[in-house]
């Protein structure tokens, strides 16, 4: 069983989970099946309903790719620019309603199709994380075989592997064997 790295704090954890719906190491994609994707999205705390159309699901997959490219410190500038443009396009058509909770606290809630509500919630959380400084700590594991999105809890923001005991150890053993 793979040890899971520590989760991102607060609402950013949902963005991290969404990015990790593509499990590179296992070769699975939680968003690949329109029948099961809404349930998986609900399980991680997103407002998904059954009946997400194939084209909406494809758009969510493109958004996931763009978010993963933005947190991947190894992405070249062109990839990051295209990812940022895609996120801007996804955000352009979003609509929000101002809602009050039982205590009178106001908040913006995404409205529209099921996919638009999911996109709106994800991008709102990315915005909040960028504003509070936690976004920069969301990274992709340096191991290409893993590519897990993790939250860097290190003091100096220098972590490059999702889990030192798993991917970090694999990389170090591989380098050691290569030298011998």
Q: Quick one: which H or E segment has residue 29?
A: strand 28-29
pLDDT the model gives residue 1: 39
pLDDT the model gives residue 158: 80
**What is the distance between the alpha carbons of residues 146 and 121, in angstroms, rounded to a whole number?**
27
Domain ranges of the chain: 12-139
**What is the distance between the alpha carbons of residues 175 and 136, in angstroms, rounded to a whole number?**
28
pLDDT the model gives residue 2: 46
Low-confidence ranges of the chain (pLDDT < 50): 1-2
Residue range 90-110, pLDDT digits in tens:
999 899 999 999 999 999 999
**What is the distance between the alpha carbons of residues 64 and 56, in angstroms, rounded to a whole number?**
12
What pTM value is reported for the model?
A: 0.87
Q: What is the largest distance, in Å, between two alpha-carbon atoms of the chain?
A: 66
Backbone angles phi, psi at 47, to 5 degrees: -80, 60
pLDDT the model gives residue 161: 77
Say if CB 80 and CB 70 are below 8 A apart: yes
């Amino acid at each position: 069983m793979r040890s899971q790295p520590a989760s991102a704090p607060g609402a950013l954890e949902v963005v991290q989970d969404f990015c990790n719906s593509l499990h590179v190491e296992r070769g699975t994609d939680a968003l690949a099946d329109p029948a099961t994707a809404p349930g998986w999205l609900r399980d991680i705390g997103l407002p998904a309903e059954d009946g997400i159309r194939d084209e909406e699901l494809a758009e969510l997959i493109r958004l996931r790719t763009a978010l993963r490219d933005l947190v991947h410190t190894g992405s070249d500038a062109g990839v990051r620019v295209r990812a940022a443009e895609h996120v801007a396009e996804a955000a352009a058509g979003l609509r929000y309603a101002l809602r009050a909770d039982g205590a009178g606290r106001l908040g913006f809630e995404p409205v529209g199709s099921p996919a638009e509500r999911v996109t709106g919630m994800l991008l709102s959380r990315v915005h909040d994380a960028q504003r509070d400084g936690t976004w920069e700590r969301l990274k992709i594991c340096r191991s290409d075989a893993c590519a897990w999105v993790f939250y860097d809890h290190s003091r100096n923001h220098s972590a490059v592997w999702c889990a030192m005991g798993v991917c970090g150890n694999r990389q170090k053993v591989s380098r050691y064997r290569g030298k011998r």
